[in-house]
Structure 1
Amino acid sequence: MKIIAVGMNYRLHCEELHAGEPVPEDPVIFMKPDSAILKDGKPFFIPDFCGQVDYETELVVRISRLGKNISERFARRYYDAVTVGIDFTARDLQRKFRAEGKPWELCKGFDNSAAIGEWIPVERLADIQNIRFRLDIDGKTVQQGNTCDMIFNVDRIIAYVSQFCTLKIGDLLYTGTPVGVGPVQIGNHLEGYLEDEKVLDFNIR
């Protein structure tokens, strides 16, 4: 199982963290190892190697069929469920690596950096490209978005990624975060919602 993630997929988020850079012409892809998964409501422990860990709330798609070189018009056949996930980012390390022109996988792919919620079958959703999602911390909404605002929609991302690597059953696709990312602190209680249904609930330790 692999975790495929998309960066810079919402215009306002691009302005938030990458002001002055052009909007990407193709999906910006990076990977996380399977050891990054954090599930079943287990707590997230802030690692010792960084000074700032940011939440990035995202719609996550579960791949349900083996596929390579998938046509965008058939991509819908290759996923069966969605949820809310958090792409945790060691932000201070990311800034350092980017400034030095070095790869920054370590600030994205560390252990437990991919929190994942409970799955909702796509059949329950009228349109995957018109889904509201949000993150509450300690009962207050800190980030919210709608998949209609994506620069690259889910089917386009799947078609693009499958040119380079075979998608396998159980692979996860983190589709990018909207504007509003920020740091977490020890003691925070995080709750993620898909529409008005809570699918993610865990604590920061």
Structure 2
Amino acid sequence: MRLPIHFLICARRFGVKLSADTGRRGVCGATMRLVQFCRRDQEGDVRVGVELEMGQGVVDLKDFDSSLPHTMKEFLETGERGMDCAHRALSSGQCVVPLPEVRLLPPVTDPEKVVCVGMNYRDHCLEQNAPIPEEPIIFSKFASAITGPFDDIKLPAESKEVDWEVELAFVIGRKGKHIKEEEALSYVAGFTVANDVSARDWQMRRNGKQWLLGKTFDSFCPLGPALVTTAALKDPHNLGIRCRVNGSTVQDSSTNQMIFKTEKLVAWVSQFVTLRPGDVFLTGTPPGVGVFRKPPVFLKRGVVVECEIDEIGVIRNTVI
């Protein structure tokens, strides 16, 4: 399938930008929106693709080069070879799947680690009258919590206090341990949108007040819609970030409120564990969560939650 010239002109906006400043540019210099998807008539056949602008479709990288793997995690493990192939696929104008035939999946579905950061927005700390942390507060979700950008959030019978948290997430692109802060962005494949759905009763009162169980019910980590490569963002730490519940804005801030930015988080966590391609980091939420409203507000069946970050996109999940 050959695309008209205006398709190719738009696609060139996602071409490779070479830069000596790899610490800022990330794993590679390519400016792309990578997605994990399946065709609607081929559920279960996971593919990695590159999203074109203005709803023009998705370039199927496996169709372009059959030697490429099926999943995003495996694709990231191929390093520069995979990214170079993605660039060539974009430039070719071939292997485009029309958007109505695409079902977007989470950008990563099988990470070794889902690393989360608590209390990482200054305005969120002020909302709680809590002190600014002196070091990153780290917890985790299980990978089984991850769900797609437009999939349902399932209310568990075990909780009556399920809450929303829009977050900037990033994905590790190459293996590293004891990573220096000034080199940290070179280990990041890109950024995406997350909802750190939280069962506040389990987080704040049950199970010794440890956070894990309240954060990791199935479907409690909607992720997507795309993995936007680091080079495609002007500044990941100066983006508007917001959450809407049934169309009403409940969170509205900027990632410039982050206390510990991406570089610090990568360096900090890599002291303790080896980071690997596909590892997901959730970087904290701004104010406006339901538990601190007066009176508290929690998610109910039928509610639609939208999490949005400028330059990255929107995820939209219905509570069932």
CA apart distance, 1:146: 1.1
For residues 126-167 of structure 1, give each alpha carbon's deviation from its aligned partner in whole angstroms, at most 9, with x where no partner exists: 111111121122222211221111111111011000000111
Contact 2:193 2:313 in 1 (8 A): no
CA distance in 2, matches of 1:58, 1:31: 14
Q: Which of the pair is proportionally richer in strand?
A: 1
**SS of alignment partner, residue 308 of structure 2:** strand
Which residue of structure 2 lines up, in the alignment, with residue 7 of structure 1? Answer: 118
After TM superposition, which residue ranges in structure 1, 4 or more long, deviate above 4 angstroms?
none
Unmatched 5+ residue regions in structure 1? none
Of 39-48 and 62-71, the range deviating more from structure 2: 39-48
User: Partner letter of residue 165 of structure 2?
Assistant: E
Which residue of structure 1 lines up, in the alignment, with residue 222 of structure 2? Answer: 115
Q: How many residues align?
A: 201
TM-score, scaled to structure 1: 0.92
Q: Which has the higher contact order (CA 8 A, sep 6+)?
A: 1
CA distance in 2, matches of 1:78, 1:132: 24
Unmatched 5+ residue regions in structure 2? 1-110, 291-297
CA apart distance, 1:42: 1.2
Report sequence identity in percent.
40
Which residue of structure 2 lines up, in the alignment, with residue 73 of structure 1? Answer: 182
Of 182-191 and 157-166, the range deviating more from structure 2: 182-191
For residues 39-98 of structure 1, give each alpha carbon's deviation from its aligned partner in whole angstroms, at most 9, with x where no partner exists: 14110111000111010110010111111110000001011221111001111122213x
CA apart distance, 1:16: 2.7
C-alpha change, 1:137 and 1:198, in structure 2 (3 Å) is: farther
What is the alpha-carbon root mean square deviation over aligned residues? 1.6
For the pair shown, the structure with the greater C-alpha radius of gyration is: 2
TM-score, scaled to structure 2: 0.60
Contact 1:69 1:162 in 2 (8 A): yes
For residues 96-137 of structure 1, give each alpha carbon's deviation from its aligned partner in whole angstroms, at most 9, with x where no partner exists: 13xx74423111122211111212222221111111121122
Which residue of structure 2 lines up, in the alignment, with residue 25 of structure 1? Answer: 134
Do residues 16 (structure 1) and 127 (structure 2) align? yes
Q: Which of the pair is proportionally richer in helix?
A: 2
Of 48-57 and 38-47, the range deviating more from structure 2: 38-47
C-alpha change, 1:88 and 1:72, in structure 2 (3 Å) is: same
